[in-house]
């Protein structure tokens, strides 16, 4: 009779632990993922730019990095700034026409590293050399049509650990609780004898 009680208690604890795990919100364990970028992956932009913007699904740490490489394989210097869930990289000069690869390595607020890459092309019209006698034209403010819109994130980002690894500490806690309950039940049954 005593063994049946212990087995019943263990089974009950395991069912309760399973229900608890099932009701834990999974987004609490989610890591930051790239939601959008400007320019977007594979995009050909028609105007020069000196800014690359990345928007993530959750906050990122200031230790996050971004590298920008041109089609010759040369890494271009960028100034990286993070603010909440966004990362902005500025180049010293507007990017010349060509293909560029962006590689990011961010640190989520939950300290989980996430990395990925994407590329884009700059194909801006070359500025004509003004004639010596010609008066310089004044620039008009950019209209809304020329503004770059953030777009969906590329599929080639790599989560450096499996998503299920976030639940490992839950399983450890559940195992400790189950062992404690079983040990308590066994101890009580021995005291009854």
Confidence (pLDDT) at 27 = 44
- Is residue 106 included in any domain, yes or no? yes
C-beta atoms surrounding 27 within 10 Å: 7
Give yes or no: residues 153 and 59 share one domain. yes
Beta bridge partners of 98: 122
- Flag whether 139 is in a domain: no
59 plus 85 within the same structural domain: yes
Tokens of 81: 């700034």
Residue 78 and residue 20 in one domain:
no
* Helix and strand element counts for the chain (H, E): 2, 11
Any residues with CB less than 8 A from the CB of 131 and at least 6 apart, and which?
none
In a domain, 57, yes or no: yes
pLDDT at 136: 54
pLDDT digit string, tens, across residues 62-111: 999 999 999 999 999 999 999 999 999 999 999 999 999 999 999 998 88
Residue 182 in this model has a pLDDT that exceeds 60: yes
Mean pLDDT over the full length of the chain: 77
Neighbours of 32 (CB within 10 A): 23
Per-residue pLDDT, 20: 59
Residue 17 has pLDDT above 70, yes or no: no
**Is there a single domain that holds both residue 122 and residue 35?**
yes
SS3 assignment, position 125: coil
Q: In whole angstroms, give the CA distance from residue 161 to residue 166.
A: 9
- Residues 122, 176: one domain? no
Query: Is the bond preceding residue 85 a cis peptide, omega within 30 degrees?
Result: no
Q: Are residues 11 and 55 in the same domain?
A: no
Task: State the pTM of this model.
Answer: 0.56
Give the CATH number, domain containing residue 148: 2.60.40.1220
pLDDT of residue 113: 93
Higher pLDDT, 172 or 160: 172
What pairs with residue 158 in β-bridges? 115
Residues 91 and 68 in one domain: yes
Same domain (yes/no): 104, 177? no
Note whether 149 and 88 are same-domain residues.
yes
Residue 21: the pLDDT is 59
14 plus 75 within the same structural domain: no
The pLDDT of residue 10 is: 73
Structural domain including 73 reads 31-126+144-161
Contact 13, 180 (CB under 8 A): no
pLDDT at residue 3, rounded to an integer: 73
Which CA distances in Å does 4 have to 173, 182, 190? 25, 13, 14
Clarify whether residues 70 and 104 are in a common domain.
Answer: yes
pLDDT-above-70 percentage for the chain: 62
Number of domains in the chain: 2
| Alpha carbon distance 155, 142 (integer Å) | 31
């Amino acid at each position: 009779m005593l063994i049946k009680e212990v087995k019943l208690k263990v089974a009950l604890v395991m069912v309760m632990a399973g229900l608890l795990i099932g009701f834990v919100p999974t987004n609490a364990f989610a890591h930051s993922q790239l939601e959008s970028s400007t320019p977007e992956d594979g995009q050909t932009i028609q105007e020069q730019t000196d800014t690359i913007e990345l928007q993530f699904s959750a906050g990122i740490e200031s230790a996050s990095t971004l590298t920008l490489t041109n089609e010759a394989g040369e890494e271009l210097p960028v100034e990286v700034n993070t603010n909440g869930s966004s990362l902005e990289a500025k180049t010293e000069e507007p990017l010349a026409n060509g293909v560029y690869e962006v590689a990011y390595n961010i640190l989520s607020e939950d300290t989980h590293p996430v990395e990925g890459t994407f590329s884009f092309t700059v194909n801006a019209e070359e500025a004509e050399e003004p004639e010596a006698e010609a008066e310089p034209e004044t620039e008009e403010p950019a209209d809304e049509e020329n503004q770059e819109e953030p777009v969906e994130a590329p599929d080639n980002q790599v989560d450096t650990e499996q998503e299920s690894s976030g639940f490992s500490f839950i399983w450890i806690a559940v195992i400790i609780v189950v062992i404690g309950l079983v040990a308590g039940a066994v101890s009580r049954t021995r005291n009854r004898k």
